[in-house]
Amino acid sequence: MCATTESSQSSSELLEVTRRDMHPRCIVCGRSSPAGLGLKFQVQGDGGVSASFDCRKNFEGYDGMLHGGVISSIADGAMTNCLFAHGITAVTAELNVRFRHPVELGMPLTVTAKITRRTAPLFCVEAKLTQADQLKVTATGKFMETSGIPKA
């Protein structure tokens, strides 16, 4: 089912406001972290989100490859931003990442995420990372809605 333009605009606004208010210094999507990844997520017609990442050399793991921890962070950040697009703030309860092929440096990477199951306060989300039209990484996560979670 495709979202209408009006609901896409609402989702885009929800994404931006929720990210700005709840996640301002995030290493993946925060705008104030000069050492961060700087991903800018866009809402898609299916209610999911997508972003591009340029795979700079300073995020290298093995020679010529993007570090697996950075890849996992990108997937987690995409899933979180997908929830933001629906006005949901949640923390990662479980993250599973499957590395199918190495992610190469110096080539753009695209990440997408969408909600697969809603059973509030738990949400299941999936992410896919592609590069040069090849599926490189898949990830699934379970997220716990933050309302009602006591702060430390």
Q: pLDDT by residue (tens digit) across 4-14?
A: 334 555 899 99
d(CA 124, CA 150): 22
* pLDDT interval class at 152 (50, 70, 90): low
pLDDT over threshold 70, residue 136? yes
pLDDT over threshold 70, residue 22? yes
User: Phi and psi (nearest 5°) for 66?
Assistant: -65, 135
Q: Could you give the domains of the chain?
A: 5-145 (3.10.129.10)
Q: Which two tokens stand for residue 12?
A: 């885009």
pLDDT value of residue 39: 95
117-141 average pLDDT score: 97
Q: Which two tokens stand for residue 128?
A: 């896919």
Per-residue pLDDT tens over the stretch 55-108 = 999 999 999 999 999 999 999 999 999 999 999 999 999 999 999 999 999 999
CA-closest candidate to residue 129, choices 117, 139, 140, 119:
139
19 CB-near residues (< 8 Å, 6+ apart):
26, 29, 41, 81, 84
d(CA 39, CA 52): 7
For tokens 């697996």, name the residue.
Answer: 68
